[in-house]
Amino acid sequence: MKEVRVVICGDQGVGKSSLISALIQEDNVTAIPKVFPIISIPPDPELNDNVSLVLVDTQSGSNEREYLASQLRKANVICLVYSDNYSYERVSIFWLPYFRSLGINVPIVLCANKSEDLDNYQGLHSIEHEMVPLINEFKEIESCILCSALEKINVNELFYICRSCVIYPIIPLWDTKEKKLKSVAVDALSRIFFLSDKNNDDLLSTTELAHLSEKCFEKQLSEAEAKDIIYTVQEVFPKGIVDGQLNLAGFLAYNQNQIENGKQESTWGILRAFHYTDSLCLDDSYLNPKLEVARGQSVELSPKGYRFLVDLFYQFDRDNDGALNDDELSDLFRYTPGLPETWIHSQFPNSTVLNEHGFVSYNGWLAQWSMITLFDYKTTLAYLAYLGFDTEGRGHTTDALKVTKKRSIQHRRVSKYDRNVFLCFVVGSTGCGKTSLLSSFINKIPHRLPDDLIPNTVVNSVEFQSKQRYLVLSEIGEQDLDILAEPKSLDACDVLCLLYDSSNPNSFSFIANLLSRYPALQKIPCVFAATKADLDRQQQRYPVQPDEFTTQLGLPSPTHISTSAIWNTSKDFFIQIAESAQFPASSVIQVPDENSNKINYQLVVALTAFGALLLSVGGSLAWKIVKHRNMFKR
């Protein structure tokens, strides 16, 4: 339950206690205490917001100044009362400067009490010539009202305004000097318009207005009520209506009209339904919800998450070409902080599948989200919030993700992982074709891109067993090999792709020696491949040849592949990598028996010796890439 603490102050005799008495007592009483004790009024069930009101009566004498100051510092709102010319002059000469001297920054409601006849000229004169100048000079005055405690006129309204100043503050919304919505309010309302415009035609129909009302106020607008909103905007801002529907300017004009008429609770109802705080920022708990992810677990998009991203893609693919061009992407991310930083540092869009014009394809769109969610699910959660995942009753943003079962270096011999997104480290000597393999995976030609735009991590989908999965290939250059010594990075890796150039006799020794140098790789599923199969095959300068080497490790022989345009044989190889990640038991190195003399004994000893090493588990690839390649800058 929220509590609004109202401190009522003003000169002696202005009727502070009388106002409280008029509020809490049904019948007139002759005996009103000099000062009321602190009074708590429980929530009004009709308002349905579970907010209680605490009234603090005060005295203005100098001997009460210390108590007054202490109560003012606890106030959520100040009700400043005057009733005649003298007490009116004291408002600007003493009271408002006094509040400022205490460093108090809460809304102030100015009340002219003892205004028994509100319809006469004097009442209008009070508003125009007394209150308006004060409001213009002192920005902390949020509202003003004429009251009569004696006649119980506007007393309930006074304390409702005090309450509303806290629950529905006008200061974040309204520029009192310019008499218009503040830019932060315009930004927030524009995003809400954007999320409510389901058919992406830049207009809100009466049906879309009805859905907005239901989300914000749990009330379905009738056709007549929706048309009344259209009529109101037509009256105050005709350009806000197009073909009987609200455009963005009309939506903003309607909210401005509500605020000008003292109905800012309507605007706040809309803002809070979309998770805006009083400072008009999205609630941090909404952008960064808690998701329980244990050490070694990974995070993927759930079916709900993919469904939302599919809908989003088709909503913004306005030319229906099966891809998102630059303008469509810009529109999609218009009301977010922009393209996610992790996307930028992954060299998006070159990190995923594009169409022939260089635009992100449907498959590339889903693949990019799959990769970033694997690396940095917190960014995915934040952007799902920005993009309105929860606006159509889909549930919380965390429902868009799923946490997979625990995976760790010590448990690579499981038969199957129930996951759909896998990470593969691609390792090999310089010039063996790692970059070409990555480019082939996403159907790109690497030499057509500047060096600084060639991604070292790419993602695409692969299909096997009648199910689509996503495979992330991350190139590990010779300068980054210390990644293979880090348990945190190895735990993120699902499968290791070991490449050698079959046309270079010195190429295979690099990856064979790598297994000896980094014994922890024994726990990771491995796939060997001989690249450049379109060239003449060379005998490898190593004690044993690749086929015999892999046989002794209990692995399939190297797959011979080529990524050249004519000889491209790598398609099935990507499925092989994904299958090895999905079913790791068949691809984990089997340490050879000591009696075997078919392979370099020194290597066997090295591989066997490291079996006693148990490496700690945890971390993510993103952490490692920050350290070694600055791919993901946080």
Of 75, 60, 158, 153, nearest in space to 111 by CA: 158
- pLDDT tens per residue across span 44-95: 887 777 899 999 999 988 888 999 999 999 999 999 999 989 999 999 999 9
Backbone angles phi, psi at 425, to 5 degrees: -85, 130
Nearest by Cα to 628 from 443, 506, 476: 476
Domain boundary among 255, 281, 307: 281
**Could you report the per-residue pLDDT of 438-449, keeping only the tens digit for each?**
999 998 765 566
Dump the DSSP string for 408-451.
-GGGTT-S----SEEEEEEE--TTSSHHHHHHHHTT--GGGS-G
For residues 396 and 469, state if they share a domain: no
Give the domain range for residue 621: 596-633
Q: Domain for residue 413, yes or no? A: no
Residue 372 has pLDDT above 80, yes or no: yes
412 in a structural domain? no
Give the Cα separation of 331 and 494 in Å (integer). 36
Please state, in angstroms and rounded to a whole number, the distance separating the CA atoms of residues 493 and 620: 9
pLDDT value at residue 589:
86
In a shared domain, residues 257 and 324: no
- Asked if 321 and 355 count as a contact pair (C-beta separation under 8 A), the reply is yes
- The pLDDT > 70 percentage for the chain reads 87
CA nearest neighbour of 128 among 152, 109, 146: 146
Task: Tell me the two tokens of residue 235.
Answer: 């009256």
Say whether 6 sits in a helix, a strand or coil. strand
Quote the DSSP letter at residue 188. Answer: H
What integer pLDDT is reported at residue 409 of this predicted model? 46
Task: Kindly report the number of other CB atoms within 10 A of residue 453's CB atom.
Answer: 10
Q: What is the pLDDT of residue 591?
A: 62
**562 found inside a domain:** yes
Q: Residue 414: pLDDT above 90?
A: no
Structure tokens that stand for 397 in this block: 């943003």
Query: Two tokens at 174?
Result: 């309204």
| pLDDT tens-digit series, residues 603-629 | 443 443 333 232 233 333 333 333 334
Specify the pTM. Answer: 0.84
Within a domain: residue 591? no
Tell me: do 141 and 11 sit in the same domain: yes
Question: Residue 225 corresponds to which amino acid?
Answer: E
Mean pLDDT of 547-568: 86
Q: Is the pLDDT assigned to residue 33 strictly greater than 80?
A: yes
Residue where a domain terminates, one of 140, 167, 194: 167
The tens digit of pLDDT for each residue in 262-296 reads 889 999 999 999 999 999 999 999 999 999 998 87
Total domains, the chain:
5
Please tell me whether residues 384 and 455 are part of one structural domain.
no
Q: Retrieve residue 83's tokens.
A: 């009733």
- Domain shared by 580 and 600, yes or no: no
**Domain-located, residue 248:** yes
Tell me: pLDDT of 466 over 90: no
Q: Which one has a higher pLDDT value, 618 or 393?
A: 393
How far apart, in whole angstroms, are the C-alpha atoms of residue 596 and residue 599?
A: 7
- Of 381, 419, 418, 383, whose CA–CA distance to 400 is shortest? 381
Tokens of 243: 């073909």
pLDDT interval class at 171 (50, 70, 90): confident
- Domain final residue, candidates 220, 249, 281: 281
Do 535 and 622 fall within a single domain? no
Same domain, 62 and 27: yes
The CATH number of the domain where 462 resides is what? 3.40.50.300
**Residue 633: which pLDDT band, with cuts at 50, 70 and 90?**
very low
Nearest to 217 by CA among 273, 163, 261, 166: 273
Inside any domain, residue 174: no
Q: Are residues 261 and 308 in the same domain?
A: no
The C-alpha atoms of residue 382 and residue 386 are separated, in whole angstroms, by 6
Tens-place pLDDT, residues 285-339: 999 999 999 887 899 999 999 999 999 999 999 999 999 999 999 999 999 999 9
- Domain at 362, CATH number: 1.10.238.10
C-beta of residue 553 within 8 angstroms of C-beta of residue 592: yes
Residue 629: the pLDDT is 42
Q: Which residue has the tokens 């499925």?
A: 575
Same-domain check for residues 269 and 308: no
For tokens 């089997």, what's the residue? 590
Task: Quote the radius of gyration of the chain (alpha carbons, Å).
Answer: 35
Helix (H) or strand (E) holding 82: strand 77-82
User: pLDDT tens for residues 220-254?
Assistant: 888 889 889 999 999 999 999 999 999 999 999 99
416 inside domain? no
Residue 289 belongs to a domain: no
Query: Could you read off the pLDDT of 469-509 as tens digits, one per residue?
Result: 999 999 999 888 989 998 888 889 999 999 999 999 999 99
Same domain, 317 and 343: yes
Q: Does 327 lie in the same domain as 238?
A: no
Q: What is the pLDDT of residue 579?
A: 93
Whether 192 and 324 map to the same domain: the answer is no
DSSP string, 458-511: EEEEEEETTEEEEEEEEEE-GGGGGGGG-HHHHHH-SEEEEEEETT-TTSHHHH
